[in-house]
Chains A and B, each alone.
Chain A
Amino acid sequence: MMVETQPILSASGLTMEFRGFVAVKDVSLSVTEGSVHALIGPNGAGKTTVFNLLTKFLTPTRGRIVFRGDDISRLKPAEVARLGLVRSFQISAVFSHLTVLDNVRVALQRPAGLATQFWRSSDVLAALDARALELIDAVGLSEYADLPAVELAYGRKRALEIATTLALEPTMLLLDEPMAGMGHEDIGRISELIRRIAKGRTVLMVEHNLGVVADLCDRVTVLARGEILADGSYESVSADPRVREAYLGTEHE
């Protein structure tokens, strides 16, 4: 593995209470720059809540989040995205009635300064086509560029989502269950894609498919009942008896 560097993202003492119910309790997490880090755990462990906290879609009751040295605990989700920390969603998030090309262009518009101009023709967006098509090609969707996103097969929607996310050139990607609901073929293709985009980037992913986690991830954090149970390499974590009991014992093999 590469040389240990400063954590790019670290959370300390994250706690989220919903009217007395503690969904996430004192979670501290640190993600090394350039690594692929997985967050796993049984259903209801609070993985998606942690994701929502890290990307500011939820505001933690207590705790602190630092991204590249800056305290982002009080920022709004759009601002976090602007800093280069970009997420995907568990349920595929595409703009259904826009074409594949338009989906990617929406992501490119803001960095290009072409988002607020209401007095110009949308023809000016053609300037973004070359870059958009390049991204679409990178995820293997070239032949569908003019198709409305709603007509894509499920696995291809996820690929489109990744292309859209990559358009922002994020320093760090948070992928919420990228393989959820996918068949074997798609899993292979998306794994390959994630491996490719992880070069030069940091990835934190929530994933249920442990084969994928073992294959892709450098480090694994296990969450159960809103608390961190274990943290380390896939081998060390999967050997941990508490983890086997809470999670692997019931679901793995």
Chain B
Amino acid sequence: MNADAGRLSPASRLRRSTLAFAAVSIVALLVAPFFLYPVFLMSVLCFALFACAFNLLIGYVGLLSFGHATFFGGAAYITAHAVKVWGWEPLSGILLGAVGAGVLGVIVGALAIRRQGIYFAMITLALGQMFAFICLQVPFTHGEDGIQGVPRGHLLGLIDLSGPLAMYYVTLAIFLIGFFAIWRIVHSPFGNILKAIRENERRAISLGYRVDRYKLGAFVMSASLAGLAGGTKAIVFQFATLTDVQWQMSGEVILMTLLGGIGTLVGPVVGAGLVIALQNYLAASDFPVTVLIGIIFVICVLLFRRGIAGEAMAFLRRRAAG
């Protein structure tokens, strides 16, 4: 029944090479902690998931949120508080963070999706600033200090997460589940409608779609997944601080997604890896990291309009065609 590769249709050939790529990536991620610093890898995975969640909105619905730190940081606070103060088990703490971020997503989304383009971005930014201010003022976040010394605890009461390897594999599992969820949403009947709305919103309305509901749905999904990343981050690094909710964090996730490639599934992962790697390896040097990231950003915008992953995929597609 199985035809040789030469006779497969382009679609099934693409599917086959995607599966091969996914398999190689997962194996690489499984062995990575034996070659690279696990904390660095976990940091990359958390931010990669955050960027993928952000990309779900910008890349597949065409909505530029300038306040995604609210969901990432909000979840980090919720998880940290649940685990440290209430003594919750870490996984349920992370899930509570994701649910909390989803609730915040309903509130922010319901207000923001009524406007389009730059106005949407401005509303999300304004609400993000308000949320950061609330986090500075309310007692449970401990203001400037943040929530420090969050215990990693035992996963489901069984697996001790204090060791880096155990924590790494849990983080990897969460990342893969989140990534798979996004992949599923993008390639679902719902995802199809999202793409149609991105392409031509008025036309989608004239076909009877209540586009606000679809946009809000996507917004809440994106917020919850960003929360999943933020909650995991709070357990990995054992703290939640104002850094996670401030606008710079919203800017960073935009940068990661743009660098990697908007509207590609792996792009945000590549972008997050690049930015975190630069921040890590240059932290000790005298050269200011932000300047270097700025230069790379400018080069990418000028040379690779579609981002690193976007350009790479376009190159492969051209080679396959030619």
Contact = CB atoms under 8 A, between A and B. Distances in A.
B193 A94 contact: no
A82 interface: yes
Interface residues of B, number: 26
Contacts of B210: 76, 78-79
A109 B189 contact: yes
B200 to A, nearest CB: 6
A77 B200 contact: no
Secondary structure at the A interface, as helix, strand, loop or mixed, is loop
Contacts, number: 97
Secondary structure at the B interface, as helix, strand, loop or mixed, is helix
Contacts of A89: 202-203, 206
B200 A94 contact: yes
Nearest to B199: A95
A40 B272 CA distance: 56
Band of interface residues on A: 35 or more
Given A78-B209, A118-B217, A94 B203 contact: yes
Interface string A24-56: 000000000000000000000000000000010
Interface stretch (B25-33, B81-89, B180-188): B180-188
A120 B205 contact: no
Interface stretch (A65-73, A96-104, A177-185, A225-233): A96-104
A64 to B, nearest CB: 22
A110 B208 contact: yes
A118 B188 contact: yes
Interface string A78-96: 1101100011110001111
B203 A95 contact: yes
A164 B189 contact: no
Contacts of A168: 207-208
A114 interface: yes
A115 B210 CA distance: 11
B205 A77 contact: yes
Contacts of A88: 206
A119 interface: yes
A23 interface: no
B114 to A, nearest CB: 13
B129 to A, nearest CB: 30
* Nearest 7 A/B pairs, CB to CB: A118-B190, A81-B208, A95-B199, A93-B203, A114-B189, A106-B196, A82-B208
30 contacts: A57-B202, A76-B210, A78-B209, A82-B208, A86-B206, A86-B208, A93-B203, A93-B206, A94-B200, A94-B203, A95-B200, A98-B195, A105-B192, A106-B196, A106-B207, A110-B207, A115-B190, A115-B193, A117-B188, A117-B189, A117-B190, A118-B185, A118-B189, A118-B217, A118-B221, A120-B189, A121-B188, A122-B191, A124-B189, A168-B208
